[in-house]
Amino acid sequence: MATKQLATWACSLEFSSVPRAVVDAAVRSFQNSLGCIVGGSTHPTVQQAIEALKPTFGDAKHTIFGQSTKNASALLTDASNAALINGIASHVHDFDDTHLHTVIHPAGAVVVALLACSESEKARGRSVSGKDFITALVAGIEIGLRVGNAVSPNHYSEGWHITGTVSPIAVAAALSNLLHLQPDKATNALGIASTQPVGIRVHFGTDTKAFHAGRAAQNGMLAAQLAQGGFTAASDALEGRRGWVEVLGNNSNSLDEQLEQLATFSKQDQSNLNRERWEIEKNTFKPFPCGIVIHPTIDACIQLHNTHNLSDRTNIERIKTIHLKVHPLVFDLTGKKTPKNGLEAKFSVYHGAAIGLVLGSATPAEYEDHIVNDPHVLNIRGKVVAEVDERMQSDEAVVKLTMSEGSEIEKPVQHAVGSLAHPMTNEQLEAKFLKQVAPVIGQSQAEGLDRLAWKILELEDISVITEAGK
C-alpha cells in the first residue's frame, strides 16, 4: 500500500499543515531553481534543444524562460516542450540544489513542471497562488526524496542518474496536489510516473545529463495528465513485486521507514524545534556549478588564492605540486583528469582545483570551453595529484601546495560552503541568482524576478513570475 499512502499524503497536503521552516526551505529551493532555469537558458545545450524541437512546438501558451532578448519577444510553446526545455536549463550548469544523502537534485524538474501546469491552469481560468505552488512543491520534493531514500545508495552506485529516475514520481506527486487529484487518481499518477525512469550516469559530461531533468519533468506531467483523465496503473507500482523499488533498487531499503516518518508529521507538534526534520529541509544549494563532491577542494583553493596572492602570476608559477586529500566519491563522480569542454569539466576535481587557484572563482564563466582549454589553467591542472582519504566526510578536503623552493602551504576545509553544516545564506543565494540571471534578462529585470521569487507566498497569481522571466 506504499504507493497509495504516498499518493494520498501528497494530494492531501495543505499549506496550513506545513511547518514554517519547511515553507522557508521550499521558498529557498524555488528561488535557487528559478535562477538556474533562467541562468541556464542561453547555454548552447538549451539552444540546440530549442532549435531541434521547434517543429514540434504546439499550443503557444507556455513560457520558455530567458529567450526574449535572443528572440526579440517571448518564446512560447506547449506545456510538454516548456517543461522539457526549462528542465534542461535548470540542470545544464550543474548549479542546482542537492540532497546530499541521495545526491538527488530535487527541485528543478518539479519547479518547471509546476510552472508549466500553472500556465495551463491560467489558460483554463484558474490562477495558481504562491501558497498553492509552494504546497505542491513541498509535496513533490518530499515524496521524491523519500522514494530516493528507499533505494540509496545502491541505485546511484549501479549507474542510474537518480535525479532522472526519481523526479517523474516527484513531479506526479506535486501535480496531484496542484490539480487536486483524488487519492485513487494520484496513486495512478505515481504508478504511471514509476514506469518512466530517465537517465544513466554514462552520460555525465554531455548534453544528455541535463536532458534527464527535462525529460523527467515531461514524464511526470504526462503521468499526472493521464491519471487525471482516468488512465490506470498498478496500485503497488513502487513497492510491489517487480515494482520500481525492486527493479531499480538492487536490494535497497524498504519504503516502510519513509512512510512511518511521513505518518509522524501529522502526530507531531510541527512548531516544536525538536520535531523530526522533513527531507526538504536537508536540501543544500551549490556555490559552484559542478559535482558537489568537488566543492570542498574548490573552497580550499579559492581561500589559498585569496590569502597567498595567487592572482600574481609569479606566485602561482612557484607552485610545484598540488596535493589533494578527498572523499572516495570524488574519484567515482569527478575523476576526469583531462576534460575537453565545460560539461566534462564539471566532473573534474582537477579542473576545479586549477580554477580555484588560478582564477579565485568558480562560476559558470570558469566552466566555459575556452577556460577549460586555457594554457595557464592546463599548466596548473597538470600539477594536481589527488588521493582518497577514507576517513574524510563528503564535505571535507585538504589541499597542500608544494612550492618550487620546497616550502609547503596547507589548507583544510572541514565543511565546504553550501554544505548542511555551512549552508548558503539568503544573501548568498540572492547574489548567485543575480550573477546568473542579470546577463540573460538585464540587471533591473533580474532584481525584480528575484524579489518575486522571495515573495512568492504573497502572490495571488504566480503568472507574474513567468512574465518576468521571459
Query: What pLDDT sits at residue 74?
Result: 84
Residue matched to cell numbers 518576468: 468
Angstrom distance (rounded) from CA 141 to CA 139: 6
Neighbours of 5 (CB within 10 A): 19
Which residues of the chain does CATH 1.10.4100.10 include?
2-285+423-468
**Cα 261 from Cα 277, distance rounded (Å):** 9
pLDDT at 250: 73
| Cβ atoms of residues 174 and 167 within 8 Å | no
- Angle at 392 (CA atoms; ends 387, 395), nearest 5 degrees: 105
Neighbours of 435 (CB within 10 A): 15
The rounded distance, in Å, linking the Cα atoms of 254 and 245 is 8
User: Distance between CA 226 and CA 205 in Å, rounded?
Assistant: 33
DSSP 8-class letter at 161:
-
pLDDT given at position 273: 56
Residue 139 main-chain phi, psi, to 5 deg: -60, -45
Cis peptide before 153 (omega within 30 of 0): yes
Cβ pair 10, 140 in contact under 8 A: yes
CA atoms within 13 A on the CB side of 256: 4
pLDDT at 255: 87
In 327-439, where do the E strands start and end?
Answer: 384-388, 397-403, 408-413
Write out the E strands in 360-436.
384-388, 397-403, 408-413
Side chain identity at residue 177, one-letter code: N
Cell numbers standing for residue 264: 509522524
Closest alpha carbon to 292 in 192, 150, 172, 423: 423
**358 near 303, Cβ under 8 Å?**
no
Rg (CA), the chain: 22
pLDDT at residue 274, rounded to an integer: 56
Task: Give the number of other Cβ atoms within 10 Å of residue 202's Cβ.
Answer: 11
Q: What is the pLDDT along the chain (470 residues), one digit of tens a residue?
A: 899 999 999 999 999 999 999 999 999 999 999 999 999 999 999 999 999 999 999 988 999 999 986 666 789 999 999 999 999 999 999 999 999 999 999 999 999 999 999 999 999 999 999 999 999 999 999 999 999 999 999 999 999 999 999 999 999 999 999 999 999 999 999 999 999 999 999 999 999 999 999 999 999 999 999 999 999 999 999 999 999 999 998 766 678 888 888 877 766 665 665 567 899 999 999 999 999 999 999 999 999 999 999 999 999 999 999 999 999 999 999 999 999 999 999 999 999 999 999 999 999 999 999 999 999 999 999 999 999 999 999 999 999 999 999 999 999 999 999 999 999 999 999 999 999 999 999 999 999 999 999 999 999 999 999 999 99
Neighbours of 387 (CB within 10 A): 11
Residue 413: C-alpha distances to residues 332, 333, 372, 398 (Å): 20, 19, 25, 6
d(CA 2, CA 418): 33
Candidates 417, 384, 470, 394; CA nearest to 285 is 417
Parallel/antiparallel/unpaired status of strands 319-326 and 397-403: antiparallel
The confidence score (pLDDT) of residue 1 equals 86
Closest CA to 319 of 410, 376, 403, 406: 403
Please name which of 232, 225, 243, 241 lies closest in space to residue 178, comparing C-alpha atoms: 225
Place of cell 532555469: 37
Give the DSSP H or E segment for 207. helix 207-228
CATH number for the domain formed by residue range(s) 292-413: 3.30.1330.120
- Give yes or no for a contact between 354 and 381, defined as CB atoms under 8 angstroms apart: yes
Angle at 112 between CA 110 and CA 115, to 5 degrees: 105
CB contact at 8 A, 261 and 9: no
DSSP 43: S
What's the CA gap between 387 and 403, in Å, rounded?
19
pLDDT given for residue 264 in this prediction: 78
For residue 434, give Cα distances in angstroms to 38, 59, 429, 444: 10, 31, 9, 10
Angle, CA 230 vertex, CA 225 and CA 231 arms, to 5°: 75
- Residue 224's CB is within 10 A of a number of other CB atoms, namely 30
Q: Which residue has the cell 504562491?
A: 130
Q: Which residues contact 184 (CB under 8 A, 6 or more apart)?
A: none
C-alpha–C-alpha distance, residues 113 and 171, integer Å: 7
CA–CA distance, 197 with 200 (Å, rounded to integer):
10
**Are 461 and 35 contacting, i.e. CB atoms less than 8 angstroms apart?**
no
According to CATH, what is the number of the domain 2-285+423-468? 1.10.4100.10
Q: List every span in the chain annotated with CATH 3.30.1330.120.
A: 292-413
Nearest to 435 by CA among 346, 366, 383: 366
